[in-house]
Amino acid sequence: MKRIVLPHSDLPDRWYNIVADLPSRPAPYLHPQTLEPLGPEFFAPLLPQALIRQEFSTERWVEIPDRVREIYEIWRPSPLYRADRLERALDTSAKIYYKFEGVSPAGSHKPNTAIAQAYYNKLEGTKRLTTETGAGQWGSALAFAGSVFDLDVTVYMVKSSYHQKPYRRVMMETWGATVFPSPTDRTAAGRAILAEDPDSPGSLAMSISEATEEAAGRDDTKFAPGSVMNYVLMHQTVIGLEAKKQMELAGDYPDVVVACVGGGSNFGGFTYPFLQDRLAGRKPRTRFVAAEPDACPTLTRGKYAYDYPDTARTSPVMLMHTVGNTFMPPPIHAGGLRHHADAPSLCLLADQGHIEARAYSQGDVFTEAVRFARSEGFIIAPESSHALRAAVDEALAARVAGEPRTIVFNLSGVGHFDMGAFDDFLAGKLADYEPPDERIQECLTSLPQVPEPA
């Protein structure tokens, strides 16, 4: 069986909240000014109550509203594939499967949470949503969700991407969203950045500052983050819950579960339902591999420490693997993997040895993306190509060891908006970049001075 599909009746009816099963209590969020632990009320100007409750929930399962499942049915359950042609191309003894999230209207996993966030906002009377976007996938997903629920969407898009990926902007505008290249002069945070550097290319952390400032300042407006938050990862668990059923249909259980990490939402969404088995002792030997770019190596080179999620330092301080909130990653094409820190639950699990991390160079991942296009057919996003690359490494290691190995990775999205990047790669013109080690050391000095976790 090459393509394993589930009927609509197998669409999950609840999300999985890993916070209920973490090996230790997650560290509290801290107030950005006082650095004291903060409670749910901090988020009231930014998020609807339902999402604040989900953020702090310790319930293992949270029901998916019928209206959200109805919209999910446009593209879910998504298919799981056996990558048999890739296996032959690699001449490996391993079996490779991939879950394909590229079938959503926006072309990635991101609508899984965009739809849920727009739904809860609509329910509580929100009229407008603001958000950040890097390469534009999150902005696209939220623009789509805004059109479904009739909400105005304003997107602060990292300026360098805004100019590099004009069609992403057009996509967002087609769904009715308004897009600004960030930093802008619309917010105090943006004006402060421009005063220091009028040519600032922007960063995700800057866009978050602008989007949250606008949401906090208007009663009719809330903020919709694309990753990192607990509830975002929880919404994404529809991916892993479906994939588990599909692996069962295939008569297999993975030895290795792989996904790429930007902020951690597709990684958490895909792996946590499998990780639940490991944490419960049912599958203690299953391994979990997080793939990241060597240009923004949060898990492999960052520090496990409290940091701000944004440059204006107005968002809650979280315990994460971070390369520092002032870090400006080299302009690699995997724009979705350029966040300076990752989701707290993922970082906790990595810190406790449940998740391994690998970092790859841009050239390495494009080599695999092209092999994949020529074996499996799909042209996949540069972000997803990091997961592919880690899956291929596992398959090659299995061949060397002469072992069977069942590998499943999350294919988080398609690469149809990344043709400029593929063009550069095929022409041998992918830009080089300096290894960021030294700058990471500098940026880590910008961390807030909070007592370190014991």
Contacts with ligand PLP by CB under 6 A lie at 108, 110, 137-138, 227, 260-267, 336-337, 381, 383-384, 412-413
For residue 322, the minimal CB distance to ligand PLP (Å) is: 14
Residue closer to ligand PLP, measured from CB, 264 or 329: 264
Three-class SS of residue 34?
Answer: coil
Is residue 409 left, alpha or beta, with left meaning phi > 0 and alpha meaning psi from -120 to 50? beta
Three-class SS of residue 329?
Answer: coil
Confirm if 336 and 293 have CB atoms less than 8 A apart.
Answer: no
For residue 137, the minimal CB distance to ligand PLP (Å) is: 3
* CA distances in angstroms from 112 to 117, 258, 300, 429, listed in the order given: 9, 19, 28, 35
What is the distance between the alpha carbons of residues 262 and 297, in angstroms, rounded to a whole number? Answer: 10
Confirm if 409 and 365 have CB atoms less than 8 A apart.
Answer: no
The number of residues making up the chain comes to: 454
Residue closer to ligand PLP, measured from CB, 221 or 227: 227
For residue 261, the minimal CB distance to ligand PLP (Å) is: 5
Cβ-in-10-Å burial (0-12, 13-18, 19+) of 126 comes to buried
At position 413, the amino acid (one-letter code) is: G
Residue closer to ligand PLP, measured from CB, 145 or 381: 381
Instruction: Scan for tokens 């998916």, then name that residue.
Output: 64
Residue closer to ligand PLP, measured from CB, 183 or 413: 413
For residue 382, the minimal CB distance to ligand PLP (Å) is: 8
For residue 65, the minimal CB distance to ligand PLP (Å) is: 22
What is the distance between the alpha carbons of residues 155 and 338, in angstroms, rounded to a whole number? Answer: 17
Residue closer to ligand PLP, measured from CB, 172 or 398: 172
Three-class SS of residue 257?
Answer: strand
Residue closer to ligand PLP, measured from CB, 247 or 299: 299
Name which of 394, 350, 378 is nearest 87 in CA terms: 394
Instruction: Scan for tokens 């072992």, then name that residue.
Output: 403
What is the distance between the alpha carbons of residues 50 and 41, in angstroms, rounded to a whole number? Answer: 12
Burial 282-298 (b: 16+ CB within 10 A, else e): ebeebbbbbbbbbbbbb
Three-class SS of residue 21?
Answer: helix
Confirm if 222 and 121 have CB atoms less than 8 A apart.
Answer: yes
Q: Which two tokens stand for residue 317?
A: 């301080």
Residue closer to ligand PLP, measured from CB, 210 or 342: 342
Residue closer to ligand PLP, measured from CB, 263 or 344: 263
Confirm if 337 and 412 have CB atoms less than 8 A apart.
Answer: no
Confirm if 132 and 204 have CB atoms less than 8 A apart.
Answer: yes
Residue closer to ligand PLP, measured from CB, 19 or 259: 259
Angle between helices 362-375 and 419-426 (to 10 degrees): 100
For residue 245, the minimal CB distance to ligand PLP (Å) is: 21
For residue 165, the minimal CB distance to ligand PLP (Å) is: 12
Residue closer to ligand PLP, measured from CB, 230 or 412: 412
For residue 334, the minimal CB distance to ligand PLP (Å) is: 8
